[in-house]
């Protein structure tokens, strides 16, 4: 029987890793993710997890060691955040290009400067073009579940791409919640053993991995990553279906909340979705036709799901904790791309908020709704709205 324990998202991630039984883990401490490798060290010390834990000297080597181990054909795991993920950047492309289904738990944290250890999504959002599948968890249960789902999707032969699962720094990484831990046998059955046909380092079957691709071949390798990411759309749906049948919890690429008659839909990711759903309930009581949508799978970007959502509403308000300078929110840009050729589309508004651990309050969300209402009547006034900005200290 599955048991429930009260734990932080970091511990949930470590539990997920333990349940997935990676043979090699390589990690480096970084706030707010440090508890993940700490907890894994305890599992190994207590004989509860049989894995090689490489205590590397940097995140660059963490991901490099994972690439080496994954190229050798074993399941691997690492955890990081912020500067650590940025330091991995170069190798993230390589992991995807070599088609190695490594899984990273990311405690979503801002990037320097100024140095700041608190939550936003700039770290993993900035890795959106590396060829990694990206999941964002709303709570600690999702952190655990999505890591297991990530392995299932990443290792599928139609995909074979690495995956990262993001969960918000401190809001989730350091906050305890009850989390249901599935039975090991059920996870074993769900995931199966990872025995890749394309990646092994076996003296009996010598192969060359990591070749030089000349212009005659390089572009096709990029296309194959594109194709794999396209395949991931369907595979993730299958994984979520199977996940529900196996563990009883339902996940959606985009989870819609009270959207059916909504004139305004607040679209967001991660733990902010919880706040937004509660806010929607409050506004519904006041008679405002408002809904919410949570993007659980950001890569592959849910183009069809965004189009379906757009058909239901008059305003899509993107609430994001990241910024692409001179453009706006990355999710806003992707959403716009999904709708660009649609004949009819809602107003799309770009809200930047909650950077570097700035709290997102109901007051902030009221402001968002006011702007959205005005946009319906008077049109869009600004390209990007910065919400919760302390203008008095600028």
Binding site for other proteins (CB under 8 A): 23-24, 26, 50-52, 54-58, 60-61, 64-74, 76, 90-91, 94, 98, 200-214, 217
In the complex with other proteins, the residue whose CB is nearer, 214 or 325, is 214
CA–CA dist 383, 326 (Å, integer)? 10
> 66 near 24, Cβ under 8 Å?
yes
Both structure tokens of 269: 């990711």
Q: What's the min distance (Å) between Cβ of 197 and other proteins? A: 15
Q: What's the min distance (Å) between Cβ of 213 and other proteins? A: 5
In the complex with other proteins, the residue whose CB is nearer, 88 or 164, is 88
What's the gap between Cα 92 and its chain centre? 14
Q: What's the min distance (Å) between Cβ of 179 and other proteins? A: 28
> 332 near 318, Cβ under 8 Å?
yes
- Return the exposure string of 65-75: e unless at least 16 CB atoms fall within 10 Å of the residue's CB, then b: bbbbbbbbbbb
Please choose, from the candidates 3, 11, 36, 6, the residue with its C-alpha nearest in 3D space to the C-alpha of residue 182. Answer: 3
In the complex with other proteins, the residue whose CB is nearer, 191 or 201, is 201
CA–CA dist 14, 38 (Å, integer)? 9
Q: What's the min distance (Å) between Cβ of 228 and other proteins? A: 18
Bridge-based pairing state of the strands 163-168 and 133-136: parallel
Other CB atoms within a 10 A radius of the CB of residue 194 amount to: 19
In the complex with other proteins, the residue whose CB is nearer, 72 or 333, is 72
Residues pairing with 3 in the sheet: 181
In the complex with other proteins, the residue whose CB is nearer, 28 or 135, is 28
Sign of torsion, CA 317 82 13 275?
A: negative
Both structure tokens of 118: 């608190």
In the complex with other proteins, the residue whose CB is nearer, 26 or 81, is 26
Q: Is 73 left (phi over 0), alpha (psi -120 to 50) or beta?
A: left
In the complex with other proteins, the residue whose CB is nearer, 94 or 338, is 94
In the complex with other proteins, the residue whose CB is nearer, 98 or 111, is 98
CA–CA dist 225, 231 (Å, integer)? 10
Q: Euclidean distance between the first and final Cα of the chain, in Å?
A: 55
């Amino acid at each position: 029987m599955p048991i429930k324990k009260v734990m932080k998202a970091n511990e949930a991630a470590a539990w997920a890793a333990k349940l997935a039984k990676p043979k090699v883990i390589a990690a480096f401490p970084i706030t707010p993710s440090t508890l993940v490798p700490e907890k894994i060290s305890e599992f190994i010390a207590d004989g509860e997890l049989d894995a090689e834990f490489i205590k590397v000297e940097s995140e660059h080597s963490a991901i490099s060691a994972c690439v080496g181990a994954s190229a050798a054909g074993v399941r691997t795991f690492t955890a990081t955040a912020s500067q650590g993920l940025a330091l991995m950047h170069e190798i993230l492309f390589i992991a995807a290009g070599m088609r190695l289904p490594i899984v990273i738990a990311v405690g979503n944290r801002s990037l320097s400067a100024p140095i700041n250890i608190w939550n936003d999504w700039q770290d993993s959002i900035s890795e959106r073009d590396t060829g990694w599948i990206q999941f964002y968890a709303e709570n600690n249960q999702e952190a655990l579940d999505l890591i297991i789902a990530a392995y299932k999707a990443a290792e599928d032969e139609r995909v074979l791409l690495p995956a990262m699962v993001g969960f918000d720094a401190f809001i989730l990484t350091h906050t305890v919640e009850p989390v249901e831990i599935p039975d090991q046998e059920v996870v074993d059955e769900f995931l199966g053993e990872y025995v890749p046909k394309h990646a092994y380092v076996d003296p009996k079957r010598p192969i060359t991995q990591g070749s030089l691709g000349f212009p005659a071949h390089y572009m096709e390798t990029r296309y194959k990553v594109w194709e794999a990411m396209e395949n991931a759309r369907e595979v993730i749906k299958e994984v979520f279906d199977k996940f529900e049948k196996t563990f009883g919890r339902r996940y959606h690429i985009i989870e819609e909340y009270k959207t059916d008659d909504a004139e305004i839909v607040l679209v967001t990711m991660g733990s902010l979705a919880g706040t937004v759903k509660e806010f929607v309930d409050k506004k519904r009581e006041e008679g405002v036709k408002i809904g919410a949508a949570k993007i659980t799978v950001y890569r592959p970007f849910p183009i069809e799901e965004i189009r379906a959502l757009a058909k239901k509403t008059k305003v899509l308000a993107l609430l994001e904790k990241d910024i692409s300078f001179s453009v706006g929110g990355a999710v806003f840009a992707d959403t716009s791309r999904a709708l660009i050729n649609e004949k009819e589309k809602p107003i799309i508004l770009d809200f930047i908020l909650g950077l570097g651990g700035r709290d997102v309050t109901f007051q902030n969300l009221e402001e968002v709704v006011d702007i959205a209402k005005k946009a319906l009547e008077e049109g869009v006034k600004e390209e990007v709205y910065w919400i919760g900005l302390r203008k008095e200290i600028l």
